[in-house]
Amino acid sequence: MQSPRTAKAALPDRVEPNAPAPKPARPPAPSPQACSGANSWPFERDSYASTAISDVVDRSLHAAVSRLTAGLSPAALTEAYLDWMIHLASSPGKQTQLVEKAVRKSIRLARHMSQCMLSRTGTAARPCIEPLPIDRRFSDKEWQQWPYTFLYQSFLLHQQWWHNATTGVRGVTAQHERVVEFASRQLLDMFSPANFIATNPQVLRKSVEEGGMNLLRGWQNFVEDWERAISGAKPVGTDEFKVGGNIAISPGKVIYRNRLIELIQYAPTTDNVRPEPILIIPAWIMKYYILDLSPHNSLVRHLTGQGFTVFMISWKNPDPDDRDLGMQYYNTLGIMAALDTVSAVLPKSKIHAVGYCLGGTLLATAAAAMARDGDDRLQSMTLLAAQTDFSEAGELMLFINESQLSFLEDTMWEQGFLDTKQMAGAFQLLRSNDLIWSRMIHDYLMGERAPMNDLMAWNADATRMPYRMHSEYLRRMFLENDLAEGRYRVGDKPVALTDIRVPIFAVGTQRDHVAPWRSVFKIHLLTDSDVTFLLTSGGHNAGIVSEPGHSGRSYQVQTKSHLDRYTAPDTWAASTPTKSGSWWPEWTAWLVERSGTLVGPPQIGAETAGLYPMCDAPGTYVMQD
């Protein structure tokens, strides 16, 4: 049996079976008879050089434009607004309703303003509109004083009116409606009274108290951030966190490496271990050490402390030479190579496989292919904030249509990968109030710096995405939803998630903008296995990094047998009791129930298979910028 170490990693000269079919550059050559006479023009062919040059020109132009638009397609946005404007212009009933709403809101605002002005104490009357629960911009009591109450109430009423104007217009496609509503909300948020010195009472008070020194510090913060952004340096405070120094320090060894992954085997921390090892597949959109941050919140350390042998994939940060790495290579050189290596170290043991985010989607496809092919090495499958059905993938779907994907592909085509800044910009837009405007107010107007923590430092250590892989992923998973609908191919045949029979533990997070928990919940519909679904507080990252002792954490959990009837997600949430604390002990108890009795720990690597410790964890790939 060939050692995984000696497996060839060179790219074959062929197109992967699951790669998008190439579009012909020109029609087949017609016969000479067809090309003669007055009707020969439909059959004339452009020269290869002409086709190639025009393609390069178009792609290069789109790539240049993307640098100004943060990777967003102007054509996609224009198309959405035209759809909305045309249908609104032909809907006099909707227009009349909007006029009526505007009049009513103006009357409410005028009444509120009068009550505030007549108030002897200067305290505002009861607000005529309340912010959404997630909107904390105007929660301070100073916003309830005249004239600031008028400013923010007016802003919220305008925002509400524009929401009414951009939604509910008959004939507008759902995709275009979401884009127009989202884009309009982003534009309005730019003009929030909280974003300006003269209209933010907290900034004004602090400026008076400090004689404007907060603004001077804010200017210094802005200049420092700008210089770091221009030079490509990481944000202020990240220097305090060193990979392999005070984060990602769980002891272990890299025992396998190919052109795409390093596989880390962690040292045991208990005298005896469970016979079934755990293989963790993180997303390659992030560096693996989110699951091995500081010692107190390291999931790896928690698992080894519970008597598990843990293996972790560390993905290479792709460069232009990796532009042609597709999803098939992430399956063969990634998860399957890792499984082969773990099986070489522990040949008689089944494996608890864990996938996080995109790594979970890859794990689900691999598990389906393994079930299809009779490979029974998996003992269980855990999906952490991972989607397998992308029909309701949240606000990320705003960026997924043919126009946007073509524009994005042209951007990646020129440089060979999707840059970290382009990805970060899209995710920041999804939470602009929290990630853009609140930071601007805090750092630049208040002149304060939020202390850096290990999770924030990890978030600033982003990775790139290969051109081919990202294109295939967005098209096959997001746009066409091939995995959920049985068209996604692994090898030369499609896979079906219904083939998976191992028990599944799926985790969703309540405030996830990347993998909304209702989308993660769809695993119930797609598999015929026993599914334990857990919904935890927090977001896509902070909800997963939820160590025991973390204050304010809670979760809900319930197991559904493959024989039970389906329960809708909202019904599930309403009927499932809430438990306080971290969800990690709940999960480890679930793993223990599906594991054997304790045995002696395995050696690091496998000499008989040619797997020797190559270097200490965290390895070399994680250090790549």
Is there a contact between 603 and 268 (Cβ–Cβ < 8 Å)?
Answer: no
Which run of H or E residues covers position 257?
Answer: strand 252-257
Measured CA to CA, the distance from residue 142 to residue 151 in angstroms comes to 12
**HSE, side-chain direction, 13 A CA sphere, residue 263:** 30
Euclidean distance between CA atoms 469 and 594, whole angstroms:
34
DSSP 356: E
Side-chain-side CA neighbours of residue 30 (13 Å)? 13
The question of whether 615 is a catalytic residue gets the answer no
Q: Could you give the angle at the alpha carbon of 522 between the alpha carbons of 521 and 528, nearest 5°?
A: 110
**Both ends of the chain: CA-CA distance in Å?**
36
C-alpha span between 290 and 241 (Å, rounded): 13
Q: Are 383 and 509 in contact (CB under 8 A)?
A: no
3-state secondary structure of 328: helix
Query: How many other C-beta atoms can be found within 10 angstroms of the C-beta atom of residue 83?
Result: 19
Angle, vertex CA 574, rays to CA 572 and CA 578, nearest 5? 95
Dist CA 67 CA 83 (whole Å): 26
Residue whose tokens read 């959990």: 557
Residues sharing a CB contact under 8 Å with residue 616, sequence separation 6 or more, in sequence order: 244, 251, 252, 253, 254
The active-site residue, picked from 35, 116, 128, 357, is 357
Catalytic residues: 357
